[in-house]
Structure 1
Amino acid sequence: MNKKNKETNKNQIYSFEKAIDFIKNLKKRNFKESIDVAIQLNIVPNKKNISIKGHAILPNKINENKKIAAFLISDNEINEAKDQSIEIILNEKNIPDFTKKNINFDLMITTPNAIIKMGKLNKILGSKNLMPDIKYGTITTNIKETLSKIRKNYVKFKNDKNDIIHSSIGKIDLDTNKLKENLETLINEIKKYKPQNCKNMSIKKIHISSTMGCGLEINLNSLTI
């Protein structure tokens, strides 16, 4: 978007449909851009230690082929992961030599009996938000079922220091109504993860953009949330 367009649209608030229409009519890139959202939360009390994290299975395709790794310790679990075409399988033997350079995956799953062996990996994986977490649905007793969900339209989310959740809701060529369904599903899932130490949590603002575009603020009344 050129400077003039940025200035013209900076302070406007759009319905979801008009925002998507605006974005789709911008100059086309030489790759298929994603539609990204920045969801500003209003958290009460406003404390730095309140973490909002979880995952959602969106109803429509988001075109993200995630490379999945697994940390497992039992032979049965390892064999099951291999049967499900998991290419990267780690165990306790890999821990001493594991560094950030070994991170060539987008997501890691594990089991309850294996997670207790992963303590030494927490610093490395945690810095990349890759440590398995029950709220992300990545600690499981059913590897096959979990992989089936993740390989669909899985997204995980976590608020940043400004209480903003960033996520993708699909590619730019996805139908507008389907993009809207994905966003509404994501928001309604986020609401379910309000922690106990949070008295109230609501959506303050939502900005939407393409990968290379600037953010447009969405009228919350144009969404079913």
Structure 2
Amino acid sequence: VKKQKVKIRSKRYQDAAKLVDKNKLYSINEAVDLVKKTSLTKFDGTVELHINLNPASLGEKKEYRTNVTLPHGTGKEVRVAIADDKILSEIEAGKINFDILVAHPSLMPKLAKVARILGPKGLMPNPKTGTVSPDPERRAKELAKGEMNIKTEPGNPIIHMPIGKVSFESSQLKENIDAVINTIGTSKLAKLTLSATMGPGVKVQIS
């Protein structure tokens, strides 16, 4: 019988974790300040929101997907491209200089030729993710401004998503979190946890 390895946390992590009361639900303002204080990385870490949804609110499929716009973005520049013949040629040549590809429905038959390249990378335009649009120019601008497609994990009512950087103002992080809560709706929320890259989780009160 294999012995399960015990995960040993660094002293810095343990010191940071001592600042967090595991049994307390913090207000969003308190949680944001605490996450910034307990960030462990020397680089500008990402602040992540971990969302546990109420399974009873998800219907028979037990999954959830939606688009949410973060008013202050995630702190990462998102390269959005609009599919055309030039982009198709670049993809076929192995050049992918974008993070999101938006396409007009009429171009989908042509994109099928490069689906084997885009699919495994999660870059294939799809109506479910809002990347197939009759107005791709407008859609590209919305996505570049901070709109994200979020969904639950396969088989688990959990969503993990970035909501900014540690260097963001506390008010910016709070407004991004509020945008997520307002989009999903409090009735669907079972638990919220906030953390910075490699930092301890802070439980957030759902109000």
Q: Tell me if both proteins adopt one fold, taking TM over 0.5 as the criterion.
A: yes
Amino acid at match of 1:90: L
Aligned with 1:90 (options 66, 71, 88)? 88
- Judged with a 3 Å threshold, the aligned counterparts in structure 2 of structure 1 residues 53 and 121 are, in CA distance, closer, same or farther, namely farther
- Judged with a 3 Å threshold, the aligned counterparts in structure 2 of structure 1 residues 19 and 45 are, in CA distance, closer, same or farther, namely closer
Distance 1:129 1:48 in 2: 25
The reply on whether 1:164 has 2:158 as its aligned counterpart is yes
Distance 2:132 2:115 in 1: 14
Aligned with 2:35 (options 19, 23, 35)? 23
Distance 1:145 1:119 in 2: 23
Aligned with 1:106 (options 87, 99, 111)? 99
Give the match for residue 9 of structure 1.
21
What is the TM-score when the length of structure 1 is the normalising length? Answer: 0.71
| C-alpha RMSD of the superposition | 2.9
Amino acid at match of 1:214: P
Q: Indicate conservation of the 8 Å contact 1:54/1:158, yes or no.
A: yes
Q: Indicate conservation of the 8 Å contact 2:32/2:174, yes or no.
A: no
Aligned with 1:38 (options 33, 40, 50)? 50
- Judged with a 3 Å threshold, the aligned counterparts in structure 2 of structure 1 residues 5 and 29 are, in CA distance, closer, same or farther, namely closer
Q: Indicate conservation of the 8 Å contact 1:53/1:156, yes or no.
A: yes
1:211: how far off?
Answer: 1.6
Distance 2:114 2:55 in 1: 31
Q: Identify the structure with the greater strand proportion.
A: 1
1:213: how far off?
Answer: 0.9
The reply on whether 1:52 has 2:45 as its aligned counterpart is no
Q: Secondary structure at the match of 2:141?
A: helix
Give the match for residue 71 of structure 1.
83
Q: Indicate conservation of the 8 Å contact 1:41/1:202, yes or no.
A: yes
Q: Indicate conservation of the 8 Å contact 1:55/1:136, yes or no.
A: yes
Q: Any gaps of 5 or more consecutive residues in structure 2?
A: 1-11
Distance 1:189 1:2 in 2: 33
Q: Indicate conservation of the 8 Å contact 1:70/1:90, yes or no.
A: no
Q: Indicate conservation of the 8 Å contact 2:16/2:199, yes or no.
A: no
Superposition map of 1:196-207 within 5 A: 202-207=188-193
Q: Any gaps of 5 or more consecutive residues in structure 1?
A: 79-88, 192-200
What is the TM-score when the length of structure 2 is the normalising length? Answer: 0.76
Give the match for residue 139 of structure 1.
132
Instruction: State the identity as a percent.
Output: 28
Superposition map of 1:117-132 within 5 A: 117-119=110-112, 121-122=114-115, 124-132=117-125
